[in-house]
Amino acid sequence: MNRRKITVAVSGLNNIDSPGPGIPVIRGLKESTQFDVRIIGLSYENLEPGLYLHNLVDKSYSIPLPSAGMDSLLQRLLYIHSIEQLDVIIPNFDAELHSFIKLSPILKRDYGIASFLPDLETFESRHKSVLYEFGEKNQVKVPQSKMVFSANEILAIGANFGYPLVVKGKYYDASIAATPEQAVNYFHKIANKWGLPIILQEFVSGNEVNVTAIGDGKGNCIGAVPMRKLYITDKGKAWAGISLLDDELITITNRVISNSKWRGGCELEFIKSKAGEYYLLEMNPRFPAWVYLAVGCGQNHPEALVSMALGLEVKPYQSYENGKLFVRYSFDQIVDLAEFEKISTLGEL
Amino acid, single-letter form, for residue 262: W
CA distances from 228 to 185, 209, 255, 325, 344 (A): 30, 5, 20, 10, 39
Find residue 42's DSSP bridge partners: 11, 61
Query: How many of the other CB atoms lie within 10 Å of CB of 252?
Result: 22
* pLDDT (mean) for 138-150: 89
Give pLDDT, residue 147: 86
The Cα–Cα gap between 223 and 300 comes to 9
- Examine the pLDDT at 172 and tell me if it is beyond 80: no
The Cα–Cα gap between 307 and 148 comes to 40
For the 205-327 domain, the top CATH level (class) is: alpha beta
Q: Is 126 exposed, middle or buried (0-12, 13-18, 19+ CB in 10 A)?
A: buried
Find residue 130's DSSP bridge partners: none
Give pLDDT, residue 1: 66
Least confident of 20-29, 192-201, 205-214, 253-262: 192-201
- Percent of the chain past pLDDT 70, that is, above it, reads 100
Going along 16-98, which residue ranges are E strands?
35-43, 59-62, 88-90
Give pLDDT tens digits for 45-82: 999 999 999 999 999 999 999 989 999 999 999 999 99
Domain segments of the chain as ranges: 4-121+332-345, 144-198, 205-327
Give pLDDT tens digits for 202-215: 888 888 999 999 99
- Examine the pLDDT at 313 and tell me if it is beyond 70: yes
The Cα–Cα gap between 256 and 158 comes to 29
The whole-chain average pLDDT of the chain stands at: 93
Asked if 41 and 61 touch (Cβ cutoff 8 Å), the reply is: yes
Among the four given CATH numbers 3.40.50.150, 3.40.50.20, 3.20.20.210, 1.10.260.40, the one describing domain 4-121+332-345? 3.40.50.20
* pLDDT (mean) for 108-116: 97
